[in-house]
Chains A and B, each alone.
Chain A
């Protein structure tokens, strides 16, 4: 390893240690710092949404494909993790979810969520990414809706009925609670194991991974394919393989995000199919486009921003003025207004800044290194002089 690489890695381990200390402290003292549980929930939800945006950014931003069914993968992660956590919790003897136990429950749940979402990602991506154009958008949307509706409508008169494979699957699906949502074993609620340690810690770790994916040779090849698939193939980059891999990575990320949300401390102890409707997919797209497609830091900012907007509208909804209005105008629902606000923000963005807040750039991005010293005469020119002017 070169000296600069060593310096980089020691710097990172310092930052990592700092983050570790902070998230452990947060896990124990967040409650004392922020007594309002709804604000704690908001902060953790923001971190989860950052993960949603980061994962969607891999396929929509870096690979330049257009997936509009991200909620499907978030939902698969959510249900997997909720069911796993409930069963693990029961087999550990129930009681209060403790920090020590979360080291067993959370990794297992998230690994299962990630794996399940990844398998479905491969399942959806493999056939649809061979095609070009808008097919992926259609297939992903269809997949997400199928997932949601299957869960919402699964009903078996007797979940334990004997019969063929289909009957068993039907029974298993109907035990997920249908339209009312999954509420843990015997409706005791899903145990909420993932404290700030896990939520904020994973947001940091996965953020670093997303950054590294973008700036790896693999990420570069993915961006190249986005520009020109034929030229990419001509230099040995297999378009299908790269696109499917990026889609699976996005699905795995969404699975982890959904898994975390389902077992997030201060969150709701139920997983409801309505949490994973098209509006959720659309929120995810808005996060990525708002922050800048292809930008890791931009997506993170988008994730935080959208989460806070949702909350702000909710708060506005509860103010006296709006409540009074609601009494006079029946059916006034500011949550519906949210979509209009997003649409307006997006239209304004398209006009003023089509590439999103950051475009494909990053905050904290290092400038390109100066040209290496060499015997050529050209090095005399300052490295950052623009040689050509863009048209």
Chain B
């Protein structure tokens, strides 16, 4: 299914956080959403997932208009996400974090669980099995019974992706998955993102500052600055685009020589 944004705008009081942004994420694409800090990338994510409501424009997923849906309903449509600042259920174990994400797919609801109908056991068993499978995939099997916050940072990031995958999403939104990763880990992440796309047959949208990852894995890149689109295209096109260079490096284009992959984005880690 395609995710289509058309003329989407969002104002916070007098501040125009997102202005007239439009793009299409094709089925099975790996799509990059980049821009300097404060460009509105995470706001776009929050608009897609319903955390904020857009003021103008349309956001459609397949043939469904996402505007009237609440975040939980958007998750049910098949859009899963991770967060820039990791949001795990801290008091729950790693396994439970995943199990929460499959409440939607359950046939057994509260009454069935209270009466302990067979369907309750079947559900719990099937879901636990699926969760353990995903934990195996994400190499978190050993810590399944640990509280989620006791994991080291990198594992928490992987757990967040694993939890999102429990939803069986058709579209996965990753908000800075490479934050805090070193070169080797970022290389690994590239492989993992492609593998996720191919194995689970989904589209991926990536908000990321790490150019090594963005340029290496995205097929299509959309660049925002101050909430507005400044460029769109393949990694090579975007890399050469004068507006992109200006946005990241300032107007003086002689400095572009000094740009090495990823370097311009290292100065800040928080943003969007």
Answer whether residue B236 sits at the interface, using C-beta atoms and an 8 A cutoff: no
Q: From B19-27, B74-82, B184-192, give the one contacting chain A.
A: B74-82
- Please count how many residues in chain A sit with their CB below 8 Å of the partner chain's CB atoms: 45
User: Do B103 and A221 have beta carbons less than 8 Å apart?
Assistant: yes
A230 at the interface (CB under 8 A from B): yes
Verify B110–A234 contact, CB threshold 8 A.
Answer: no
What is the chain A residue whose CB lies nearest that of B46? A230
Chain B, interface residues (CB within 8 Å), range: 35 or more
Q: Is the CB of B92 within 8 A of A220?
A: yes
16 intermolecular pairs with C-beta atoms under 8 Å apart: A1-B121, A212-B116, A217-B100, A218-B103, A221-B100, A227-B91, A232-B100, A233-B72, A234-B71, A234-B83, A235-B103, A235-B167, A238-B73, A371-B145, A388-B143, A390-B150
Let me know if A209 is at the binding interface, CB within 8 A: yes
In the complex formed, the residue of A with least CB distance to B87 is A231
Docked complex Cα distance between A227 and B148 (Å): 12
Please tell me which one of the listed residues A235, A238, A391 contacts residue B163 in the complex, with CB atoms under 8 A apart. A235
Contact B146 A235 (CB under 8 A): no
Complex alpha-carbon distance, A287 and B61, angstroms: 49
Tell yes or no: A9 within 8 A of B by CB.
yes
Q: How far is the CA of A249 from the CA of B150 in the complex (A)?
A: 33
Residues in B whose Cβ lies below 8 Å from that of A234: 49, 71, 75, 80-81, 83, 87, 164
B152 / chain A contacts, CB cutoff of 8 Å: 388
Contact B75 A235 (CB under 8 A): yes
Give residues of chain A (210-240) contacting chain B, Cβ–Cβ below 8 Å: 212-213, 216-218, 220-221, 223-224, 226-228, 230-239
Do B146 and A376 touch across chains, with their CB atoms under 8 A apart? Answer: no
A220 with B100, Cβ < 8 A, contacts A209-B114, A236-B75 known: yes
Find chain A residues with CB under 8 A from B167 CB: 235-236
A212 — which chain B residues lie within 8 A by C-beta? 113-114, 116
Query: CB of A32 within 8 A of chain B?
Result: no
A223 and B72 contact, Cβ closer than 8 Å, known pairs A372-B132, A390-B147? no
Partner of A223 from the list B92, B142, B146 (CB cut-off 8 Å) is B92
**In this assembly, does B88 line the interface, its C-beta being within 8 Å of a C-beta of chain A?**
yes
Contacting pair B114 A233 (CB below 8 A): no
For the complex formed, measure the closest distance between the CB of A360 and the CB atoms of chain B, giving whole angstroms: 8
Question: Does A331 sit at the interface, judged by CB under 8 A?
Answer: no
Q: Which residues from chain A contact B102 at a C-beta distance below 8 Å?
A: 217
Question: In angstroms, how far is the closest chain B Cβ from the Cβ of A216?
Answer: 3
For residue A363, CB closer than 8 A to chain B, the reply is: no
Instruction: Point out the residues of chain A lying under 8 angstroms from B103, CB to CB.
Output: 217-218, 220-221, 235-237
B72 to A218, Cβ gap below 8 A?
no
Residues of B contacting A217 with CB < 8 Å?
99-100, 102-103, 106, 108, 113, 123-124, 127
CB-CB nearest in chain B for A227: B89
The CA-CA distance from A57 to B108 in the complex, in Å, is: 23
Q: How many angstroms from the CA of A217 to the CA of B122 in the assembled complex?
A: 12
Check if B91 sits within 8 Å of A378, measured CB to CB. Answer: no
Chain B hits for A233, CB < 8 A: 50-51, 70-72, 75
User: How far, in whole Å, are A224 and B167 apart by their CA atoms in the complex?
Assistant: 15
Interface string of B222-249 (1 = CB under 8 A from A): 0000000000000000000000000000
Q: Give the residue name and chain of the B residue nearest to A2 (CB).
A: B121
Q: Is the CB of A218 within 8 A of B109?
A: yes
B263 contacts across to A, CB distance below 8 A: none
A218 to B100, CA, bound (A): 8
Please report the C-alpha to C-alpha distance between residue A228 and residue B109 in the assembled complex, in whole angstroms.
22
Q: Which residues of A contact B70 (CB under 8 A)?
A: 233, 238
Task: Please give me the residue from chain B that is nearest to A249 by CB atom.
Answer: B110
The reply to whether B116 and A235 contact each other, CB–CB distance below 8 Å, is: no
Q: In the complex, what distance in Å separates the CA atom of A213 from the CA atom of B80?
A: 27
Residue B118 lies at the interface, judged by CB distance under 8 Å to chain A: yes
Indicate whether B3 reaches chain A with its CB closer than 8 angstroms.
Answer: no
Chain A, range 371-389, C-beta contacts under 8 Å to B: 371-372, 374, 376, 378, 381, 383, 387-389
Give the 10 A-B residue pairs with the shortest CB-CB distance, closest first. A216-B113, A233-B71, A231-B87, A238-B72, A235-B101, A236-B75, A236-B104, A224-B89, A224-B100, A227-B89
Give CA–CA (A231, B103) in the complex, Å.
14
Other contacts beyond A228-B88, A234-B87: 16, CB < 8 A: A223-B92, A227-B92, A231-B87, A233-B50, A235-B80, A235-B101, A235-B163, A236-B75, A236-B104, A238-B70, A368-B145, A374-B136, A376-B136, A376-B141, A389-B150, A390-B147
Distance of B152 from chain A, by nearest CB (Å): 8
- C-alpha spacing A9/B117, complex, angstroms: 10
Q: How far is the CB of B153 from chain A (nearest CB, A)?
A: 12
**Chain A residues closer than 8 Å to B147, beta-carbon distance:** 390
Could you tell me the distance between the alpha carbons of A1 and B76 in the complex, rounded to whole angstroms? 28
Please measure, in the bound complex, the distance between the C-alpha atom of A232 and the C-alpha atom of B90, giving whole angstroms.
12
Contact B146 A388 (CB under 8 A): yes
In the bound complex, residues from chain A placing their C-beta under 8 Å from that of B97 are 224
- Say if the beta carbon of B179 comes within 8 Å of chain A: no
- A5 is an interface residue with CB less than 8 A from chain B: yes
